Amino acid sequence: MSESNVVLNVQQLHTSFKTNSGYVQSVKDVSFQVQKGETLAIVGESGSGKSVTALSIMGLIEKPGVIEKGKIELEQVDLTKINDKEYRKLRGNDIAMIFQEPLTSLNPLFTIGNQIAEAIKLHQGLDTKQAKVNVIELLKRVGIPRAEKVYYSYPHTLSGGMRQRVMIAMALSCKPKLLIADEPTTALDVTIQAQILELMKKLKDENNTAIILITHDLGVVAEMADSVAVMYAGQIVEFADVFTIFADPKHPYTQGLLNSTPKFYEKNEVLQSIKGTVPTSNSMPIGCRFNPRCPYVTQKCLNENPSLKKLDSGRQVRCWLVEEEGETLV
Amino acid sequence: MIKFLIKRLLEFIPVLLIISFIVFTLVFVAGDPVALLLPEDASQEDIENLREALGLDRPFIVQYGTYLSGLLQGDFGKSFRYNSDALPIVLERLPATIELALSAMVVAIIIAIPMGVWSASKRNSFVDLFATGGSVLGKAMPNFWLGIMLILLFSVTLGWLPVSGRGSWMHLILPAITLGTGIAAEMTRLIRSSMLEILSQDYIRTAKSKGLRKFLVIYKHAFRNSLIPVITITALQTSTLVGGALVTETVFSWPGLGQLLIQAINTRDMAIVQASVFVIAILVILMNLIADLLYRVLDPRIKYN
Amino acid sequence: MTLIRSKTETPNTQKLSISLLKSLLKSKTGIVGFIILVAVVVVAIFAPILAPYDPTLINPTKMLKPPSWIEGGDPSHLFGTDNLGRDILSRIIYGSRVSLLVGISAVVLAGIIGMLVGLVAGFYGGWVDMILMRLVDSFLAIPNILFALVFLAVFGPSVPTLIIVIGVTNWVAYARIVRGETLSVKEREFVKAARTIGVKNSLIIVRHILPNVMSSFIVISTLSVASTIILEASLSFLGLGIQPPTVSWGGILSDGRDYLATSWWLATLPGLAITVTVLGIIFLGDWLRDVLDPRTER
């Protein structure tokens, strides 16, 4: 793990939102690194702080939200310290983002070509003509047929899958070092999902882009990710490479997530759900945040929140059971 | 496109029919104008003769029929006061009213767009407070009073601008501001709420994630989208605009339709009143049609069917 | 059914009025509006007690006196006097009566007409609906004030005609809301069921339509009282509204226009009275809209 390969280094990120009753932390003490060509999946239920983490990296947390603490280093530059203008130069250029809803993420009043060319013209200083050549090239690369025609089309004339391809083309238009994909396939049909994931993989291999993939779909994780961070209630509860997570989940929450996902090779299995819901940021339980839903809860879990403990082989788990019993868990 | 236009124009027919019926009924109820036409000492026989000559002795339905067939030929009746066809007299005054209404619209746009956009993009700031407060105040002031206050300040006290009449652009300033303020107040409110809604859309986040400057995000990606509902509702207010113009013209002795109309009402010159109502109604309907076309141009999602 | 019935039960209305009061105390503009409106109503009701003079009393010895705080002002006439020596303060106090009377009665009338038209159009549908909706379009194509002017020219200006005229020109907004609600209520299963077992239309109207349109009705009515007061003042200003000797704000303003060069207060003070009153009503209406009708945008 040589230092120069690390594209993104997030350390102790705390992001909060100001409400009528004081500050509410939606991301607490999150740290991770992403390397060149690596895909990191951030997994969790809705409300776990995944998207807020992504928006914090993009610098798109807006009032009443605020990054309270922590570092977000993109190739050794701390993004929490740079000004607005410098951030704008990075956004859409070095870091790009794909959103969950392709249907509403494109402006209905401008053509596809106009919207993709916008970023290219801005960051690469090309004129409209040159940008158009690039855009059509991009559209072809993301597998859009009749790219010249689509260039002049409006978003509403394209299907959801096509629009997500457009979003990907837009995100990749300036060859970003880091791509954040927030639930890129959730809103799409299953067959289209597979195509989009395939496309993302292909493009990642071509450009050696680092990807942060935010999802709640473990099928997508298995397909795409190199390493996985499981988030619960604003904190990372388990971090490991993808094989370890699937083969030997340590945290009860990760285990619960895996048990609630159907596996096609196991017949007659009983799917389990994790009972209860993610606590809201202003009603956090004392002690371990997962304790109300945890099947192995102990007195200690009710009193103290465990820290993220590093185990061997680089994996990390936030659980008292792991701290006390070493690596063996019930 | 053509088909759409024809369909919309066909929809006007029943509306105009209803208006003609209402206007005619009102005038019919008002009683005949014969007494105004003849000298006071005219005999009963003279009155009867004139009534017969003008067709005023016939039943309501027949008179309405005659009136309608006249309308179809562009005949809105004769003005008793001017002793000539009513329609040309009304049309002659129209340009002045349109000039005033358009200038007021320009004033409103100049005030409302920056105020609305600015207050939406800096919500709860001082600017926002000023814009929302100003727009409530603009709605609360009767425009004839505002006009008089402007005359008091700029014409009587400071002597910068003429008190009344039409002619140079100097004459236009105060009436345009008077009429424009109310429209600006409503427009500011509309633009603000429309912008607030658009700014929370996903595609605004997309635009920001491209690294666009805030100015571009607001004016390219949000403003145009927010204009669509603003245009629709503003067009629906053409009727308010024209109504305001009638009053403003009286305040500034602006020689437009409003002044003509008030005179006609005071002298019971019903042909002029009828023709004015029609011309104004058609103007309002046309403005709505133009707005309809305009937002079809702005929004590629809408098809002509 | 229980859910629907609970809407009209009394304990809830009591709770509602308490929570309304609580939220009024939180809204600064709401409170200001409420206080202004209460003040104007009190002034209108107790005008004979509050006014220092008879508003029509002519006093040739004190013509065009400026307000008392200005040099040359007469301490016994706080807001000065007009060209006939009448006390402006008294005239403004009495003027509030006409404004409120016309404003409120015309809005009630408009609400009744709009409700009837909307119900008929929504219930019967078909060609009845089509004709009524074209009628709505026609009214939208004629400016309110123009319609009122023509109407007044025909029937002659008086307070009752003024109320009728403004009522007849302002019903459109109500008709649209009631019609929309009627159409949607008509399609709901329980109403269909109720109709098949022979429940009377009047019962459906009272039970299901009225409670649903009530909040929009209150909001629109409040805001239309504001626009009606302005409309009445405009008509009186144009000389076709309230006729002397009845005192109205628009009328005082119109008189004052001729003395603009010498006596600014004549035109300024009644306009201020209109503006403050309307401002108060708009504040109250906006607050009511925020509380009662979250669907409509501010």
Q: Where are the domains of chain A?
A: 3-94+176-324, 102-174
pLDDT in tens, B44-66: 777 777 777 777 777 788 888 88
Chain-centre distance for alpha carbon A166: 19
> How many residues make up chain B in this entry?
305
φ, ψ for residue A127, nearest 5 deg? -85, 175
Q: Is A302 within 8 Å of chain B by CB?
A: no
| pLDDT at residue number C169 | 84
* pLDDT higher than 90, residue B179: yes
Q: Are strands A316-317 and A309-310 parallel, antiparallel or unpaired?
A: antiparallel
Question: Are 3 or more Cβ–Cβ pairs between A and C shorter than 8 Å?
Answer: no
Q: Work out the minimum CA distance from C33 to partner chain B, whole angstroms.
A: 12
Neighbouring chains of B at 3+ CB pairs within 8 Å? A, C
Beta pairing class for A178-182 and A210-215:
parallel
Domain count, chain C: 1
Q: What is the C-alpha to C-alpha distance for residues A316 and B51, in angstroms, rounded to an integer?
A: 104
Distances in Å between the Cα of A269 and the Cα atoms of A248, A252, A261, A265, A293 are 18, 19, 10, 10, 22
pLDDT at residue C109, rounded to an integer: 93
- Report CA-CA distances (Å) from C176 to C135, C171, C208, C223: 11, 9, 17, 16
Please name each of the domains of chain B with its CATH number.
2-73 (no CATH), 88-298 (1.10.3720.10)
Q: Which CATH architecture has domain A3-94+176-324?
A: 3-Layer(aba) Sandwich (3.40)
Calculate the alpha carbon distances from A194 to A219, B1, B136 in Å: 10, 41, 54
What is the pLDDT confidence band of residue C10, given thresholds at 50, 70 and 90?
A: very low
% of chain B exceeding 70 in pLDDT: 94
Please judge whether B239 and C260 are an interchain contact, meaning their C-beta atoms are less than 8 angstroms apart: no
Tens digits of residue pLDDT in C65-82? 777 777 777 777 778 777
The rounded distance, in Å, linking the Cα atoms of C16 and C215 is: 12
Q: A263 CB near a chain B CB, below 8 Å?
A: no
Least confident of C7-11, C126-130, C271-275, C291-295: C7-11
Strands A39-43, A210-215: pairing is: parallel
From the list B22, B193, B242, which residue is nearest C297 (CB)?
B193
Chains A and B touch, using 3 or more CB pairs below 8 Å:
yes
User: Tokens representing C86?
Assistant: 């009448």
What is the spatial distance between Cα C171 and Cα C169, in angstroms, rounded to a whole number?
6
Q: How far apart are CA A319 and CA A317, in angstroms?
A: 6
- The nearest CA of chain B is from the CA of A115 a distance in Å of 8
Asked if B131 is an interface residue toward chain C (Cβ–Cβ < 8 A), one would say: no
- Give contacts of B300 with chain A, Cβ < 8 Å: 108-109, 154, 156
Q: What part of B 230-289 touches C (C-beta under 8 Å)?
A: 236, 239-240, 242-243, 246-247, 250-251, 261-262, 265-266, 268, 273, 276-277, 280-281, 284-285
Contact predicate A92/A153, CB 8 Å: no
Mean pLDDT taken over chain B: 83
Q: Confirm whether C25 is domain-assigned.
A: no
Q: Is C2 helix (H, G, I), strand (E, B) or coil?
A: helix
Place of tokens 């690469």: A124
CA distance B239 to C139: 10
Distance of CA B304 to CAs A122, B230, B297, Å? Answer: 35, 20, 11
**B19-32 mean pLDDT:** 79
- Rounded to an integer, what distance in angstroms lies between the CA atom of residue B33 and that of residue C151? 16
Q: What is the largest CA-CA distance in chain A?
A: 67
Task: Report yes or no: C193 and C161 within 8 Å, Cβ to Cβ.
Answer: no
The predicted-structure confidence for A146-180, as pLDDT tens digits, reads as follows: 888 999 999 888 888 888 889 888 888 888 889 99
CA B235 to chain CA centroid, nearest Å? 9
The pLDDT tens digits of the residues spanning A35-74 come to: 888 899 999 887 788 888 988 998 888 877 888 888 888 8
User: Helix, strand or coil for residue C254?
Assistant: helix
pTM of the predicted structure, to 2 decimals: 0.80
Nearest one of A60, A68, A61, A50 to A13, comparing CA atoms: A68
Adjacent-strand bridge partners of A317: A238, A309
Judge whether B203 and B128 are in contact, CB under 8 Å. Answer: no
Distance from CA of C145 to the nearest CA of B (A): 6
Sheet holding A210-215, edge to edge: A95-98, A178-182, A210-215, A39-43, A227-232, A235-241, A316-317, A309-310
Contact yes or no for C143 and B140 at CB 8 A: no
CA angle (C255 as vertex; C250, C260 as ends), nearest 5: 110
Q: In what order do the strands lie in the sheet with A77-78?
A: A22-35, A6-19, A65-74, A77-78
Residue of B nearest to A176 (CA): B210
Inspect the interface and report whether the beta carbons of B203 and A104 lie closer than 8 Å: yes
pLDDT for position C9: 40
ipTM strictly over 0.90?
no
How far apart (Å, rounded) are the C-alpha atoms in residues B133 and B123?
A: 13
| DSSP letter, residue C66 | P
**Poorest-confidence range of A87-91, B35-39, B132-136, C199-203?**
B35-39
CATH number for C276: 1.10.3720.10
Measured between CA atoms, the residue of chain C closest to residue B244 is C145
Q: Report the range out of A179-183, A311-315, B10-14 with the highest average pLDDT.
A: A179-183
**Mean pLDDT for the stretch of residues A228-248:** 88
Which of helix, strand or coil describes residue A109? coil
Show residues of chain B in contact with C282, CB under 8 Å.
Answer: 136, 139-140
The mean-pLDDT minimum among B173-182, B184-193, B255-264, B282-291 falls in B282-291
Is-contact A35 A41, C-beta < 8 A? no
B227 to chain A, closest Cα gap in Å: 11
Q: Which domain holds residue C141?
A: 34-56+77-292
Nearest-angstrom CA–CA distance, C86 and C65? 10
Non-local (6+) Cβ contacts of B134 within 8 A are B115, B185, B188
Provide the CA A243 distance to its chain's centre, in angstroms: 19
DSSP summary character for residue A4: G
Distance in angstroms (rounded) separating the CA atoms of residues B77 and A135:
65
Contact A156 B209 (CB under 8 A): no
